[in-house]
């Protein structure tokens, strides 16, 4: 048998024809094959079942052989999904598809196998097949031997692609598969400590000062345990991240789950596009905070310089592939929003020269400059010396290509599961430039890994309005404005005229009276309304302090939704009180479970600021606007010295309250504020 070790595939009308084609490809009787039609783990070319000779087409996949040792490259999925891709980014065309009618697998385990494997893939694609899979970062020297990388992980191939006859559009994965939907991800442990990372960053800063490099993308790994359903984990990642380039790729004992937002390159009708991503900020907790952080990111000289360096590098890379003068940069420094971070992106386009194939494209572009730095070759050498482990598929490329198109993402936010060992690995990193702060860069890396455990619960947006029939809704425009801001924040499509019509219909069906109307908008933007009589409790309301704090970092505190778990927990064990006063982890008062807080202290009416972690109530906003109340950080001790305690909201107005008792213990493990 030929010593070439990448997998070959043959599709034949009969078993006899399959044997002929395999032998023509220099496979001899005794070489191992897998016959998909009969679900056999292995056969020899000379031992294909006789009954298959008149049967349907067979998919023959040859096991890899190195010398006299057979090494199986069996990538059959262990769960419910084959290779699939999902795009749920609302700013792009959303679509999901799986690849079916498998024709074979092409795998490269060593550098000298990478280019032959790509040429084999290109040949199959020319005949109508689709190729879908990934290229590991450590494959880089196959395209340019000057690029330096760590010794690859021997359990994960440098290149893996399945060949398929059909690409089938499907529905995106639901929020949870109905069967075997549980999984547990253990807490991540970093392979690089903060002091070690800081030391490496300082070495990079010295190299930048010496002129060796301008920017280095320094990475490390987060590792932990995994058990349960990988399909459920993937479904959660897709729904939580709603990224443009989600992928589920089984390869032997490993499974790649990616929720990458970054386009590596896209080819359609000879139009080539790259969209590098450089520059990060955490998401704000409410719309205005989010907008302020986005503006800061878009105008930051540091982030712009970092982004521009990568754009210049990629323009040069693209120029090796495209027609002279066709390279353009149609968009610079655009901010894209994701559930946990804001990212700064730019777009580069060009017209591909005739005759340029996938191997040539990857030869010019791989790996993306956004995951190495600039200049690419020298910086790769610095990375190889400083990083503590191979990156594997992380920062490589994941995607597919067919006869007239190709789409690849940069493999960031990509989880590698080892199903046999019950472990996961997640790479994280950031771009180090001359003005980088080591502590801030380390925190940025950890924030990038936070998506793994970021699961917003299912909820509807909610507005509670006061209706005085047959009059109208009180402060309706303010309610609709708040609703619109939350819809924008959570990327929920909202038709305000549809909402107004729902409210009008609800008002016309009610008898004269005073009502509380609940307006609900689901994640698809469908609105509905329900109402109940507006009941006013006797005053003063009995108020008690919560047993445990709220987390002021939780964005749901700043938006009115049907997810009220925080408020439900606060009310538990407080049956004797009418309402419960909440406070954050810093011991600052926030709000009650139903209303905003106003204290009269020294003759002034004071309310906690939004930054403490609270819903921006409609009536509270009006009172701030006209100067009736003012913001100030308040603590539980202020409840004792307040001349008056009021709870305010737009449905029931001002209500007087009294503090009934003080809590001295916190069952959650936090010390409750002392009164």
278 is catalytic: yes
pLDDT at 672: 55
pLDDT confidence band for 539 (50 / 70 / 90):
confident
Q: How much is the CA Rg of the chain, to the nearest whole Å?
A: 30
Residues in the chain: 675
Instruction: Say what the pLDDT of residue 210 is.
Output: 96
Cα separation, 500 vs 480, in Å, equals 9
C-alpha–C-alpha distance, residues 644 and 605, integer Å? 9
3-class DSSP assignment, residue 394: coil
pLDDT above 80: residue 412: yes
Residue 27 · residue 6 · CB < 8 Å: no
**pLDDT value of position 448:** 86
**Mean pLDDT value across residues 95-99:** 89
Residue 34, pLDDT above cutoff 60: no
Q: Which of 116-120, 219-223, 332-336, 403-407 has the lowest mean pLDDT?
A: 403-407
Range with lowest mean pLDDT among 371-375, 438-442, 661-665: 661-665
Q: How many CA atoms lie within 13 A of 136 on its CB side?
A: 27
Q: Does residue 134 contact residue 108 with C-beta atoms inside 8 Å?
A: no
CA–CA distance, 332 with 347 (Å, rounded to integer): 7
CB distance 430 to 418 below 8 Å: no
Tell me if residue 661 is catalytic.
no
Q: What is the DSSP letter of 296?
A: H
Q: How far is CA 140 from the centre of its chain?
A: 25
Q: Report the C-alpha gap between 285 and 555 in whole angstroms.
A: 4
Q: Are 228 and 257 in contact (CB under 8 A)?
A: no
DSSP state of 264: E
Q: Is the bond preceding residue 470 a cis peptide, omega within 30 degrees?
A: yes
- Tell whether the model's pLDDT for residue 673 goes beyond 70: no
Q: 526: burial class by Cβ within 10 Å (0-12, 13-18, 19+)? A: middle
The arithmetic mean of pLDDT across residues 41-60, rounded, is: 34
Q: Tokens representing 61? A: 């996949």
* Nearest partner of 249 among 397, 75, 413, judged by Cα: 75
From the list 113, 278, 376, 444, the catalytic residue is 278
Place of tokens 């032959």: 116
Structure confidence at residue 53 as a pLDDT band (50, 70, 90): very low
DSSP one-letter code for 510:
S
Question: H or E segment at 304?
Answer: helix 301-319
537 or 127: which carries more pLDDT confidence?
A: 127
User: Which of 5-9, 76-80, 156-160 has maximum average pLDDT?
Assistant: 156-160
3-state secondary structure of 495: coil
* Distance between CA atoms of residues 231 and 219, nearest Å: 27
Is the pLDDT at 79 greater than 90? The verdict is no
- Least confident among 47-51, 265-269, 346-350, 577-581: 47-51
CB contact at 8 A, 559 and 615:
yes
- Lowest model confidence (mean pLDDT) among 17-26, 82-91, 121-130, 195-204: 17-26
Whether the CB-CB separation of 349 and 328 falls below 8 Å is answered with: yes
Kind and range of the H or E element at 654? Answer: strand 653-661
| DSSP label of 322 | B
Report the mean per-residue pLDDT for the chain. Answer: 85
Q: How far apart are CA 367 and CA 1, in angstroms?
A: 33
pLDDT of residue 462: 98
Side-chain-side CA neighbours of 587 within 13 Å: the count stands at 11
284-319 pLDDT per residue, tens: 999 999 999 999 999 999 899 989 999 999 999 999
Report, as an integer, the average pLDDT of 355-374.
94
- Which residues, 6+ apart, have CB-to-CB distance to 375 below 8 Å? 213, 214, 313
Q: List b or e across 492-517, with b for residues whose CB sees 16 or more CB atoms inside 10 angstroms.
A: bebeeeebeebbeebbeeeeeeebbb
Any bridge partners for residue 134, and if so which? Answer: 160, 398
Residue 453 Cα to chain centre, angstroms: 10
Task: Find the catalytic residue in 113, 124, 138, 262.
Answer: 262
The mean pLDDT value for 358-379 works out to 94
Give me the mean pLDDT over the 249-269 stretch.
94
pLDDT recorded at residue 92: 64
Cβ atoms of 589 and 581 closer than 8 Å: yes
Cα 272 from Cα 275, distance rounded (Å): 10
Lowest mean pLDDT of 4-13, 491-500, 522-531, 650-659, name the range. Answer: 4-13
Is the pLDDT at 570 greater than 80? The verdict is yes
Residue 388 CB partners (closer than 8 Å, separation 6+): 191, 192, 196, 220, 221
What tens digit of pLDDT does each residue of 172-199 get? Answer: 876 554 444 589 999 999 999 999 999 9
Tokens of 39: 């679900």
d(CA 4, CA 16): 24
Q: What is the pLDDT confidence band of residue 30, given thresholds at 50, 70 and 90?
A: very low
**Residue 61: closest CA among 50, 48, 52, 80:** 48
Helical spans, DSSP H, in 86-149: 111-126
424 and 415 in contact (C-beta within 8 Å)? Answer: yes
DSSP one-letter code for 28: -
- Work out the average pLDDT over 413-431: 96
Buried b / exposed e across 31-40, counting CB within 10 Å, b at 16+?
A: bbbbbbbeee
First to last CA, the chain: 82
pTM: 0.76
Per-residue pLDDT at 195? 96
pLDDT (0 to 100) of residue 598: 98
What is the share, in percent, of the chain residues with pLDDT greater than 90? 71
Token pair recorded at residue 198: 């800081």
In a 3-state reduction of DSSP, which class is residue 286? coil
The mean per-residue pLDDT over the stretch 489-503 comes to 94
User: Please, which pLDDT band fits residue 250 given cuts at 50, 70 and 90?
Assistant: very high
Predicted pLDDT at 611: 96
What are the tokens at 521? Answer: 């908008």
Q: What are the structure tokens assigned to 375, written together? A: 């200049």
Confidence of residue 367 (pLDDT cuts 50, 70, 90): very high
Average pLDDT over residues 342-368: 95
- Other CB atoms within a 10 A radius of the CB of residue 53 amount to 14
pLDDT in tens, 599-651: 999 999 999 999 999 999 999 999 999 999 999 999 999 999 999 999 999 99
Q: What is the pLDDT of residue 173?
A: 78
- H or E element at residue 55: none
Residue 579 has pLDDT above 90, yes or no: yes
Cα dist from 110 to 131, 140, 159, 307, 607, whole Å = 20, 11, 9, 33, 65
């Amino acid at each position: 048998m030929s010593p070439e070790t990448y997998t070959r595939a043959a599709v034949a009308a009969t078993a006899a024809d399959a044997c002929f084609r395999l032998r023509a490809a220099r496979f001899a009787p005794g070489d191992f094959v897998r016959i998909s039609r009969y679900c056999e783990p292995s056969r020899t070319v000379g031992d294909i079942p006789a009954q298959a000779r008149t049967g349907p087409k067979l998919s023959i996949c040859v096991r890899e052989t190195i010398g006299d040792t057979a090494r199986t490259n069996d990538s059959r999925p262990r769960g419910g999904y084959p290779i699939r891709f999902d795009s749920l980014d609302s700013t792009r065309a959303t679509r999901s598809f799986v690849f079916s009618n498998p024709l074979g697998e092409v795998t490269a385990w060593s550098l000298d196998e990478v280019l032959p494997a790509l040429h084999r893939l290109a040949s199959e694609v020319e005949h109508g097949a689709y190729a879908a899979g990934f290229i590991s970062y450590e494959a880089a020297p196959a395209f340019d031997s000057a690029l330096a990388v760590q010794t690859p992980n021997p359990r994960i191939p440098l290149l893996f692609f399945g060949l398929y006859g059909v690409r089938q559009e499907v529905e995106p994965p639901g929020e949870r598969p109905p069967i075997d939907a549980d999984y547990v991800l253990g807490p991540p442990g970093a392979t690089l400590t903060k002091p070690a990372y800081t030391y490496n960053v300082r070495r990079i800063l010295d190299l930048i000062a010496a002129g060796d490099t301008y920017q280095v993308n320094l990475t490390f790994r987060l590792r932990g345990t995994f058990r349960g359903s990988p399909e459920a984990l993937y479904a959660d990642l897709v729904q939580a991240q709603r990224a443009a380039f989600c992928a589920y790729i089984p390869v032997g004992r490993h499974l790649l789950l990616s929720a990458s937002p970054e386009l590596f390159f896209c080819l359609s009708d000879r139009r080539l596009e790259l969209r590098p991503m450089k520059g990060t900020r955490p998401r704000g907790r409410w719309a205005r905070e989010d907008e302020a952080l986005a503006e800061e990111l878009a105008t930051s000289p540091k982030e712009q310089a970092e982004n521009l360096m990568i754009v210049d590098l990629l323009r040069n890379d693209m120029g090796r592939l495209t027609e002279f003068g066709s390279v353009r940069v149609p968009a610079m420094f655009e901010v894209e929003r994701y559930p946990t971070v804001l990212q700064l992106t730019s777009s580069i386009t060009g017209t591909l020269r005739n005759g340029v194939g996938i191997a040539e494209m990857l030869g010019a572009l791989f790996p993306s400059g956004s995951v190495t730095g600039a200049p690419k070759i020298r910086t790769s050498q610095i990375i190889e010396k400083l990083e503590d482990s191979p990156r594997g598929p992380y920062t490589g490329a994941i995607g597919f290509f067919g006869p007239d198109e190709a789409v690849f993402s940069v493999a960031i936010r990509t989880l590698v599961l080892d199903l046999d060992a019950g472990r996961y690995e997640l790479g994280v990193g950031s771009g180090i430039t001359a003005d980088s702060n080591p502590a801030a860069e380390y925190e940025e890396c950890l924030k990038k890994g936070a998506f793994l455990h970021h699961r917003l619960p299912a909820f509807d947006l909610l507005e509670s309005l006061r209706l005085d029939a047959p009059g109208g809704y009180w402060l309706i425009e303010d309610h609709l404005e708040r609703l619109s801001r939350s819809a924008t924040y959570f990327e929920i499509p909202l038709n305000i005229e549809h909402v107004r019509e729902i409210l009008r219909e609800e008002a016309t069906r009610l008898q004269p009276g005073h009502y509380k109307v609940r307006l609900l908008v689901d994640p698809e933007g469908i609105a509905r309304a329900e109402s109940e009589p507006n009941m006013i409790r006797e005053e003063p309301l009995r108020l008690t302090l919560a047993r445990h704090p709220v987390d002021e970092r939780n964005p749901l505190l700043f938006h009115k939704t049907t997810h009220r778990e925080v408020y439900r927990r606060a009310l538990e064990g407080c049956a004797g009180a009418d309402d419960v006063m909440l406070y954050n982890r810093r011991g600052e008062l926030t709000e009650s479970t139903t209303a905003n807080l106003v204290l009269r202290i020294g003759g002034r009416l004071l309310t906690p600021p939004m930054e403490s972690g609270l819903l921006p109530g409609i009536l509270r906003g009006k009172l701030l606007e006209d100067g009736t109340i003012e913001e100030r950080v308040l603590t539980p001790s202020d409840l004792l010295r307040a001349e008056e305690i009021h709870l305010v909201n737009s449905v029931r107005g001002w209500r007087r309250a009294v503090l009934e008792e003080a809590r001295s213990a916190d069952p959650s493990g936090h010390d409750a504020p002392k009164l």
